[in-house]
Structure 1
Amino acid sequence: MDNQQSPCINICRYNSTNFENVEVIYCVGCYRLYDEISNWTSYSDSEKQLIKTNLEIRKVKFNL
């Protein structure tokens, strides 16, 4: 059962940043990583919740 809705806010533009010495590509609207967006439908509810929990932290770190 899929109880976790996508955090997409329909501002789908990608940016890249160097985060902890690794270049990451993320959406500037929802802050999910490219792979997280691509694989969203295959994640379990608990995996989706973990990603959503990390989005606010990521938003702050990526916008420094």
Structure 2
Amino acid sequence: MTSPCVGICILDPVTGYCRGCHRTLDEIANWVNYTDSEAHEVLARLPDRDPLATEPD
């Protein structure tokens, strides 16, 4: 499974999410060990973690 990393690797100190890909440090570190099913579970959670995804137009 391709990593969702976009090369903006800054962990938000409040949320604990990467500001680029919105994963936690544990999710980033374990990505290469995840099964496809586990990776899909992480990917499914990412839109809820993106503050821009919920801002009104």
Shorter-chain TM-score range: 0.7 to 0.9
Number of aligned residue pairs: give it. 53
RCO higher in structure (CA 8 A, sep ≥6): 1
Aligned identity (percent) is 40
Gaps of 5+ in 2: none
Cα RMSD for the two superposed structures? 1.8
Gaps of 5+ in 1: 18-23
CA displacement 1:1-59 (0-9 Å, x = unmatched): xxx21000011111122xxxxxx522100000010001111110000011011100111
Task: Looking at secondary structure, tell me which structure has more strand per residue.
Answer: 1
List 4+ stretches of structure 1 deviating above 6 A.
none
Output the TM-score relative to the length of structure 2. 0.80
